[in-house]
Structures are given as structure tokens and as C-alpha cells.
Amino acid sequence: MREHDKETVVVIGAGLAGLTAAATAARARRPVVVVEAHTAGGRARTDELSGYRFNQGPHALGRGGEAWRILHDLGVPHRGHRPPVRGARVVRGGKLAGVPTGQLASLIPRLLTVSAASWAGRSAEEWVESLGGSRDLPDLARMLIRVTTYVTDLGRMPAGFAIARLKAARRGVSYLDEGFASLVEGLSSAASAAGATIRTHQAAAGINAVPGGWEVELAGGEVLPAAAVVIAAGSPAAARKLLPVDPGWPELGPPVTAACLDLGLRGPHPSVVIGVDEPLYLACHCPPGALAPAGGSVVHVMRYGAGDEGLDRAELHRFATLAGITSDQIAAERFLAAHVVTHVLPGPEDGLAGRPAVAVPQAPGVYLAGDWVGPSGWLSDAAMASGQHAAMLAAGAPAEDRTHPRMA
């Protein structure tokens, strides 16, 4: 390894996790190189279609969560607004109805006062079924859990996790006025300003141990020497392909998916419509956000848990029609058939603690980051928290003290 490369941190991937790692390590005065196979942003990118700007399905930033804190630490602005709820409605039995405020007023205190620890090792579905009463209460509880977690399979979800997410939801969320791409731009700027180099359209092909550190092989044949490597390449499968050792992971759990219909509308729009007894959701993200031409709006319609592509798309269009959207209002649309919301839904036995750790066993100086890594946070909170943690470890470990296992 060349002398000037001994402290370099190479980050693989430029989504929220990778860019957070890059900005954190660079601010710790370590040389940082980011390599990204595509454009920066990953599932946080915002695409433009006919003047409308679409996130990858409905995205919200949790107020006061890990991502919120890290963005503040890094000086990254995130101007947004609380979801508009005036005129909110629900769908029950295939029909529009007003929000059942009386039932929710009696249910929510019960949900918020329960102890997560008392349900350790059990599923969210077991907890919901224990509520008793009419079918309305369990259905309303499932609706609230879907909205706060994006998960519809409560039988696979830890009860303690569902309880914790409902309690965290009291802080509210923010719809970003410029879309989630504003976070990508802000984190990229913070990383670059601190000295990091971001190289897009350059895929990593593997990581090899060398005396005193690591080498990251790129698909084009170039080799990047590194003192430490942060793998923020997306899915567990993508990370496993790059790892220089077998991580020995158990079954991590299935991905959380959604079918998403993103609509750019002319004129009036509904605020929010949520299915009580079916896993459907519709919300307006603009106005007041700046995601549409003057007078237009952006509405996201989603089915929690992607199924059949054709059936899902038709179902989401029917839901939009039920909410009051007419075909002549639609100026632009995009359908994501099986969008990955998060890569791993941990099981009831271990909860978030069952996710892989940031530090890779048997590979000192190699770290993981992503929405499926570490015991902290969910969605963007998990991605950014693991990215920050990985970078702090990478920046603080002296290169000359590292040893490596024997590699075949």
C-alpha cells in the first residue's frame, strides 16, 4: 500500500447510508473515496417526469429520529412540512368514510401505554389480536402499524418493534419539500466539502486483504488501496458478494415491499385516504412541497406488500378513483411494481437486535451500512445510523494495528 493511502476509507455505495458514512469519515479528517455503480441516491433519488418530481414511492422523514439528528450534525438542510390531514378519510368495506376519531381516541392510549418488553419474542399480530373487542379495534391497530412501519405482515413482525414505532410516531414526520433527492444533494455536498471524492458509475467487484489494509477491486480493473472499507451497496446479497469472508449470517428475514403508483395531477387533490381493512394508502406530498408545476400536485398511492403486478396496478387506480381522482386530472404517472421499502424484516424472536452488526467479524476494518444493518432505527434512520457508526469505526481504527484472517 502506498504511504499516502494508509488512512483512506473507501465507501462502496452512494445512497443515504454510504453518503452519511463518507461525510462522517471525511469530517474526521480521513481521506475518503466513494464508488457507486450507478448515480448517487439509490432509493432516495427523486425522478422528474413531465415536470413532476417523484420520490421512489411515498417517503417521509421521521422528526426527531436518528436521520433527523445526523442531518443536523452534518449541517444538511431538510426543509419540509407535516403531512396535510385536513379532509382525511378512511376506506372500510370498499366505501369511503370519515376518520373514526372516537374509536381512535380510545384505542391510541392503549397502544401507547403498553410495554414493549412485555411482548418480547412475540409477533405484532398476537399483540393486535389481544386487544379484543369488535373487529374494528384490531383493524384500526393494523392500519396504524402499517402507516408507521410500511409492513403489512404482522405475523412476521416483532410486537416490541411495532409498539416502539407507534410511540416514535408521536413526533410526526416531514414530507421534504424538494423530495428526498435534497438529502442526497445535501449529504453529497457535505462529504465533498469535507474532502471526500465521489465517483459514480464505477462498480466495486470485490475486496481483498493486503498487509496493513485492504484493496477494493473495481469492475474496470482499477484497484483502490484502503485502510478501511464501508460496504453500503444496498441489499444483503450485494454486500455478501463483496465481503472478503463469510459473514455467517443466519436467515435475515424477508424484504418489505410495496406496489407504488406515483401520480402527477392537475388541479384539486385529496389529502390522505387510508384503508382500514385492506393495506392501501394514498397521500398528497405536494402542495405545499415544490414537486409539481404551478397549480399541480403529487399524490402517492401504495399497496403495502407487493403482489401481482397487473392486479396491484389496477387496485391502486381503483383506490385513487375512490378517493376522487379522475383520469383527466392525471398528467403524469409511474408505477413501481415491487419496490423494496427496506431489505430485511426481522422476526419476532430477535427483533432489530437480530440484524447484522456494523463491524464484520473476521474482517477488521470492513464495515457494513444500510437499512438492514445494526440494532438502531428503521428505514432512513437505520441507513444513516449504521452509516455514521461504520464511518466512526473506520475513521478511528489505526491502519497499522489491523490483522487479517488467512484468505483462501
CA torsion angle 258 265 78 195 (round to 10):
80
Distance between CA atoms of 229 and 242, rounded to whole angstroms? 11
Please, what is the Cα angle at 30 between 395 and 14, to 5 degrees?
A: 85
Distance between CA atoms of 209 and 167, rounded to whole angstroms? 44
What grid cell was written down for 197? 471524492
pLDDT band at residue 382 using 50, 70 and 90 as cut-offs? very high
Distance between CA atoms of 404 and 47, rounded to whole angstroms? 42
pLDDT digits 0-9 by tens, 86-124: 999 999 999 999 999 999 999 999 999 999 999 999 999
Distance between CA atoms of 239 and 235, rounded to whole angstroms? 6
How big is the chain, counted in residues? 408
What are the strands of the beta sheet with 173-176, ordered from one edge?
61-62, 173-176, 80-81
Distance between CA atoms of 341 and 127, rounded to whole angstroms? 24
Look at residue 315 in the predicted model and tell me its pLDDT. 98
Look at residue 407 in the predicted model and tell me its pLDDT. 35
Average pLDDT for 369-375: 97
Report the mean per-residue pLDDT for the chain: 93
The Cα-based distances of 267 to 16, 317, 326 in angstroms read 33, 18, 11
Residue 144 phi, psi dihedral angles, 5° rounding: -65, -40
What grid cell was written down for 387? 452509516
Average pLDDT for 1-14: 75
Q: Do 144 and 166 form a contact (C-beta atoms < 8 A)?
A: yes
Q: Do 131 and 137 form a contact (C-beta atoms < 8 A)?
A: yes
Is the pLDDT at 3 greater than 80? The verdict is: no
For residue 322, the Cα-to-chain-centroid distance in whole angstroms is 29
Burial classification of residue 98, based on how many CB atoms lie within 10 Å of its CB (0-12 exposed, 13-18 middle, 19 or more buried): exposed
User: Is 101 in a helix, a strand, or coil?
Assistant: helix
Looking at the chain, the whole-number percentage of residues with pLDDT higher than 70 is: 95
Please, what is the Cα angle at 216 between 211 and 220, to 5 degrees?
A: 135
Using the 8-state DSSP alphabet, how is residue 289 labeled?
S
Q: Do 171 and 165 form a contact (C-beta atoms < 8 A)?
A: no
What grid cell was written down for 221? 480493473
The DSSP bridge pattern shows strands 228-231 and 366-368 to be parallel
Number of neighbours of residue 99 by Cβ within 10 angstroms: 15
pLDDT digits 0-9 by tens, 222-254: 999 999 999 999 999 999 999 999 998 988 999
Distance between CA atoms of 32 and 356, rounded to whole angstroms? 24
Is the pLDDT at 402 greater than 60? The verdict is: no
**Range 277-280 contact pairs with CB under 8 angstroms and sequence separation of 24 or more:** 277/92, 277/93, 277/139, 278/91, 279/146, 279/152, 279/303, 279/304, 279/305, 280/91, 280/304, 280/315, 280/316, 280/319
Q: Do 53 and 46 form a contact (C-beta atoms < 8 A)?
A: yes
Domains for the chain: give ranges and CATH numbers. Answer: 3-45+181-251+351-401 (3.50.50.60), 99-171 (1.10.405)
Distance between CA atoms of 193 and 363, rounded to whole angstroms? 30
Look at residue 251 in the predicted model and tell me its pLDDT. 85
What grid cell was written down for 143? 392500519
pLDDT band at residue 6 using 50, 70 and 90 as cut-offs? low
Distance between CA atoms of 55 and 57, rounded to whole angstroms? 5
Helix axes 66-74, 380-396, angle to 10 degrees: 50
pLDDT digits 0-9 by tens, 279-321: 999 999 999 999 999 999 999 999 999 999 999 999 999 999 9
Average pLDDT for 33-62: 96
Average pLDDT for 173-189: 97
User: Is 113 in a helix, a strand, or coil?
Assistant: helix
Average pLDDT for 55-77: 96
pLDDT digits 0-9 by tens, 149-159: 999 999 999 99
The position carrying cell 398528497 is 284
Is the pLDDT at 267 greater than 90? The verdict is: no
Distance between CA atoms of 269 and 283, rounded to whole angstroms? 9
Is the pLDDT at 403 greater than 70? The verdict is: no
Residue burial 320-341, b: 16+ Cβ < 10 Å; e: rest: bebbebeeebbbbbebbeebbb
Q: Which of 305, 289, 304 is nearest to 177 (CA)?
A: 289
